[in-house]
Amino acid sequence: MEFQRRQDQSLSQRKGQKRKLDEEHHHERQISPPPPTAVERAALLSDVAEQVSILESTFTWNEADRSAAKRATHALADLAKNEEVVNVIVEGGAIPALVKHLQAPPLSDRVQKPLPFEHEVEKGSAFALGLLAVKPEHQQLIVDSGALTHLVDLLKRHKNGLTSRAINSLIRRAADAITNLAHENSSIKTRVRMEGGIPPLVHLLDFADAKVQRAAAGALRTLAFKNDENKNQIVDCDALPTLILMLRSEDAAVHYEAVGVIGNLVHSSPNIKREVLLAGALQPVIGLLSSCCSESQREAALLLGQFAATDSDCKVHIVQRGAVRPLIEMLQSPDVQLREMSAFALGRLAQDTHNQAGIAHNGGLVPLLKLLDSKNGSLQHNAAFALYGLADNEDNVSDFIRVGGVQRLQDGEFIVQATKDCVAKTLKRLEEKIHDRVLNHLLYLMRVSEKGCQRRVALALAHLCSADDQRQIFIDHYGLELLLGLLGSSSSKQQLDGAVALCKLANKASTLSPVDAAPPSPTPQVYLGEQYVNNATLSDVTFLVEGKRFYAHRICLLASSDAFRAMFDGGYREKEARDIEIPNIRWEVFELMMRFVYCGSVDVTLDIAQDLLRAADQYLLEGLKRLCEYTIAQDISLENVSSMYELSEAFNAISLKHACILFILEQFDKLSARPGHSLLIQRIIPEIRNYFVQTL
């Protein structure tokens, strides 16, 4: 993330540099003109050729020649402000002519003093070349034409002890041109160092003119980016003390460039980072968090994030020196990059235990959680990483849950996989801390806080608590009633949150399965086996089903259920009867029921399950009833869940009823779009309560 951010900063630096080159001569362009037509191109080439011819023929100290050369450099610079025609200017041969005029013409005894337009032509040439260098494809061409040597010499024009507005302006133009030439061009950055450009730039940081300081810092900033040899030379030239002083400048443009240089120096350079800290940069960088310049704030936050990655002591020092509050304020800035950089810094600071509590205590949780809603993937990820750090401290867990942090983490739409992974780890961290004093605090909040907070706590605990604590939370401390209250809410979002939480709670507590069997029979089971099903051998009772005989054995039936025991051992007429007629049951259903009685198990198919359930309920065969319920439960759908629930009530099919409840909770969002769902929900709330009371 750091690497990408420094690249982004460099891109914005390049655009800003071009504006800076432009600002003295003309106001910034609002809209780029379209590319020239063929006719315009021909006219432009002619114009360029004319200016080049003037430059080639006026390399003297003659006042008329100097005046003409000055006008020609300005004319080419004015043309170069339109990026659409820069290629035409280069094609017209402007670069060699401009490079030639980066140096003063040779002096002779006849040259009048003061020298006419001294420094002015060189300044105009540097300005025009800087504009041409905005296009990367022209950078090497300019350097190969010998521009760098002359530009470095121009940086030293003040060495004779003279300073003037013209000299200052010339030096700035030379520094700006070096900035544009070296932008994202590694070989040219190195070439500037080889030409001796770094020492004079460092020297110019102490220049009296703030604009010169700014230009020199801008060039050093570019040269330091991703070039270790340049970084080392800048530090070896003793730039750090001056740069740190510049951080305290009241001129926003000065401290912006200074913090940018330091940021590029320390990036991926642990040794320089240590030197910068030892040189006293920490406090002035923290001071820039309150700057009126948002760019300086952004760079300072990025730099603090880099400092914080050094060691734990540095993290603590940054917080102790007052960085947390301004960083949290920056989280709420309308500037996206400012929010991102403050989240980046807080994320690094939040890897220290004591800082975690301090950031949350100072109000960092809520704005960080809000950033999860951002559509900017990098911003979202930095916020998620900071929250991951805060979740590591037990003192933050209750606040995390109290402000709805768990719901935001669960509901967020995260753009990149790394953010999704980070959020999952954060939820896991929170889950691991729901015990002892944290749990006691949350239970206290569930008792005494306002209703909204109580519900947020109950929702979070449904997802995060351990199975061992469920009864204490949801039965003993009435957390279940808070979740059921959400189901009865007029808000569809609250209803869905409640349903999802209850579903999570149920999944932790129990799982429906075919061995979710009935309570054991009071009479020991006797299974005669498959060979005796509808076998006349030793049969002592016959059932008449749909006119057909079914041979059975009283001893097996007596042991199978209370219904058969009452039939044969009670005061019913069937007690002595040899043939017993069975009405209202199909032969296939009765045979399958008896097969269960004789064998203790049977394969129940969906097409017969409901009729078999009815028969099992009539004859109190709880084991068979559960098998039927399990089979029927596999067929529950959005279309039939209401009728399935009615079926479970009609035959007191507890497992089927529970399956319907779980299905309704699992599919709540889809079910809510169907007519009549509200009535169904209100109808089953008492049964949901009973289910959880039994389960927990």
256-273 pLDDT, tens digit per residue, is 999 999 999 999 999 999
Task: Give the model confidence (pLDDT) of 77-89 as tens digits.
Answer: 999 999 899 999 9
Percent of the chain at pLDDT > 70 equals 91
Average pLDDT over residues 629-641: 94
Residue (of 346, 317, 316, 313) closest to 329 by Cα position: 346
Residue 12: per-residue pLDDT:
41
Inter-residue contact 622 to 651 (CB < 8 Å) = no
Structural tokens at position 493? 């979002």
Residue 16: per-residue pLDDT:
40
**DSSP characters over 521-534:** PSS------GGGTT
pLDDT exceeds cutoff 70 at 573? no
pLDDT exceeds cutoff 80 at 577? no
Average pLDDT over residues 591-605: 91
Confidence tier at 179 by pLDDT (50, 70, 90): very high
- List phi, psi (to 5°) of 544: -105, 110
Distance CA 333, CA 569 (A): 84
Residue (of 222, 290, 195, 281) closest to 246 by Cα position: 281
Residue 570: per-residue pLDDT:
59
Strand-strand pairing, 548-552 and 579-581? unpaired
**Which residues does residue 361 pair with via DSSP β-bridges, in sequence order?**
none
Distance CA 131, CA 176 (A): 9
Q: Compute the mean pLDDT over every residue in the chain, rounded to the nearest whole number.
A: 89
Distance CA 401, CA 407 (A): 8
Distance CA 439, CA 294 (A): 42
Task: Give the model confidence (pLDDT) of 514-537 as tens digits.
Answer: 434 444 443 446 677 788 888 888
Inter-residue contact 415 to 380 (CB < 8 Å) = yes
Residue 162: per-residue pLDDT:
64
683: CB partners within 8 A, 6+ apart: none
For residue 178, the number of C-alpha atoms closer than 13 Å in the C-beta half-sphere is 36
Confidence tier at 160 by pLDDT (50, 70, 90): low
Residue (of 587, 575, 580, 594) closest to 532 by Cα position: 594
pLDDT exceeds cutoff 90 at 427? yes
Q: Bigger pLDDT: 17 or 553?
A: 553
Distance of CA 507 to the CA centre of its chain: 29
For 147, 236, 239, 508, the CA distances from 196, given in Å and listed in that order, are: 13, 13, 15, 70
Inter-residue contact 41 to 421 (CB < 8 Å) = no
Task: Give the model confidence (pLDDT) of 1-10 as tens digits.
Answer: 443 444 444 4
pLDDT exceeds cutoff 70 at 635? yes
Distance CA 263, CA 224 (A): 9
Cis check: omega of the bond before 114, within 30 degrees of 0: yes
Residue 564: per-residue pLDDT:
83
Enclosing H/E stretch for 579: strand 579-581
Average pLDDT over residues 16-33: 45
Counting every residue written for the chain, the total comes to 696
70: CB partners within 8 A, 6+ apart: 117, 120, 121, 124
Inter-residue contact 219 to 179 (CB < 8 Å) = yes
**Which residues does residue 551 pair with via DSSP β-bridges, in sequence order?**
542
Task: Give the model confidence (pLDDT) of 327-376 as tens digits.
Answer: 999 999 999 999 999 999 999 999 988 899 999 999 999 999 999 999 99
Task: Give the model confidence (pLDDT) of 113-135 as tens digits.
Answer: 788 898 999 999 999 999 999 99
Strand-strand pairing, 579-581 and 541-545? parallel
**Which residues does residue 345 pair with via DSSP β-bridges, in sequence order?**
none
The amino acid present at 437, given as its one-letter code, is: R
pLDDT exceeds cutoff 90 at 100? yes
Average pLDDT over residues 211-228: 96
CB atoms within 10 A of CB 20: 20
Inter-residue contact 604 to 635 (CB < 8 Å) = no
